């Protein structure tokens, strides 16, 4: 029970603003379990988005305004953790074709034009797509589930066989920590849950989000030699945007 509790604390403490006790041990095995638990750890965030959507509907707010408030709540609930990774990833991949230079830019933590543009465009896409989802009968519930499912992207990025770009940094502990069969099982579970709440469109959304994340990981491996913590954060934001866009169609 101890190792599993450590993994749960690591997932919740890293991915949400919910206060938890720090894990006693953080190693590759704990990190891998934490990535598999990420969708469950995000349940408070999903519930927050769903509640915002439902309350907005009951108060008669427009779907667009409700979507803005829901995304704002999600950003606050995750401490903008993944958005920071998205910005750094965009800056790193556009700054130079030199691997070392790109990694230095990503590590600097400052946001350049590419990073700002990426955050604005991805957040805008999320808001617009979420507004369309919220206009449907059970849109608030679908939105909450999709927030949780977007965190499946983390297991994809941490699957064994996906190399790390550097030996240090936040992502180094997580790289290669998830077994491929565990990742496959998580993706199948995500597709099943998506089908239960959104029908066939939910399965298509999961497949599309998986494809987008795989393309990002492939690009990271080609340009940087592997993934970093920033790449993992970017994958979550892109996965959520893709899930919402497909679900809104």
Query: Which of 13-22, 58-67, 90-99 holds the top average pLDDT?
Result: 58-67
Residue 108 pLDDT class (50, 70, 90 cuts): confident
> For residue 231, what are the domain limits?
2-248
Closest CA to 238 of 219, 199, 211, 200: 211
pTM confidence score: 0.95
Count how many domains the chain has. 1
Average pLDDT, the chain: 94
Task: List the beta bridge partners of residue 178.
Answer: 159
CA distance 231 to 80: 14
- Cβ atoms of 49 and 143 within 8 Å: the answer is yes
Choose between 111 and 93: higher pLDDT: 93
pLDDT of residue 166: 84
CA distance 178 to 160: 6
C-alpha dist (Å) from residue 88 to 75, 127, 194, 221, 241: 16, 21, 30, 16, 18
CA distance 7 to 12: 9
pLDDT of residue 111: 81
pLDDT of residue 249: 87
pLDDT tens figures, 141-191: 999 999 999 999 999 999 999 999 887 766 678 999 999 999 999 999 999
Neighbours of 118 (CB within 10 A): 24
What's the alpha-carbon Rg for the chain, to the nearest Å? 17
pLDDT of residue 1: 58
């Amino acid at each position: 029970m101890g190792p599993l509790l450590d993994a749960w604390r690591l997932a919740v403490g890293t991915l949400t603003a919910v206060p938890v006790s720090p894990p006693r041990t953080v190693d590759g095995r704990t990190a891998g379990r934490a990535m598999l638990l990420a969708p469950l750890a995000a349940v408070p965030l999903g519930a927050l988005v769903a509640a915002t959507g439902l309350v907005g509907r009951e108060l008669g707010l427009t779907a667009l305004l409700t979507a803005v408030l829901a995304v704002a709540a999600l950003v606050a609930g995750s401490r903008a953790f993944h958005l920071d990774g998205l910005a750094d990833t965009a800056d790193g991949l556009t700054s130079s074709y030199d691997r070392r230079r790109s990694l230095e830019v990503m590590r600097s933590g400052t946001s350049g034009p590419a990073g700002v543009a990426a955050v604005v465009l991805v957040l805008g896409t999320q808001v617009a797509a979420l507004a369309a989802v919220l206009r449907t009968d059970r849109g608030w519930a679908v939105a909450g589930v999709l927030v949780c499912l977007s965190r499946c992207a983390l297991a994809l990025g941490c699957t064994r066989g996906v190399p790390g770009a550097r030996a240090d940094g936040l992502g180094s502990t997580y790289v290669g920590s998830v077994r491929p069969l565990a990742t496959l099982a998580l993706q199948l579970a995500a597709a099943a849950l998506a089908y239960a709440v959104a029908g066939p469109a939910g399965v298509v959304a999961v497949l599309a989000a998986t494809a987008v994340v795989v393309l990002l990981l492939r690009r990271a491996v080609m340009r940087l030699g592997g993934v970093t913590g920033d790449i993992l954060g970017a994958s979550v934001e892109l996965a959520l945007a893709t899930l919402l866009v497909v679900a809104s169609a």
